[in-house]
Amino acid sequence: MRGYPSQTSMICAGDFCGIRNVTKSELLQVMINVLAQYVYNKYSLPRVQVSQRYNALPEGYTKRTFNKTDTDVIQSAALTCKSGSCTLANAPQLQVYLKYCMFNLSACSMQPFTDAAQ
């Protein structure tokens, strides 16, 4: 990162790299962006089902976790993928996938954690 002009690095914020130290949050954001770019196309989501489930949610915590960008992604994805599950196309769809799976573990083939003491 150091020594490259700001035009070639997302984290230099208008300066040449090396003028200031990279903060932990900047480094974390870069890592998340890189991971999302290479990970999102390995997952799929039943987009019509997500749209139907979102529309049926009552007002409350679960519905409030989806912001305006998420709802736009849900609506547009349901229109472009009408049959079965389609792979995720970009990082915003990955974020919706993670939120959807957080509240619907079985749809994402995930199992809830169980208490080992029980």
Query: What would the two tokens of residue 55 be?
Result: 């529309």
Q: State residue 1's pLDDT score.
A: 47
Query: What would the two tokens of residue 108 be?
Result: 């994402």
Q: State residue 26's pLDDT score.
A: 78
| Ordered per-residue pLDDT tens for the chain, 118 residues | 444 454 445 555 555 555 667 677 777 777 777 777 777 777 888 888 888 888 998 998 888 889 999 999 999 988 888 777 888 888 788 888 888 888 878 777 776 666 655 5
The DSSP code for 1 is -
In 3D, which of 101, 113, 25 has the Cα closest to residue 65? 101
Q: State residue 71's pLDDT score.
A: 92
**Global pTM exceeds 0.75:** no
Q: State residue 13's pLDDT score.
A: 58
Query: What would the two tokens of residue 38 be?
Result: 């290479």
CA 65/CA 103 separation, integer angstroms: 10
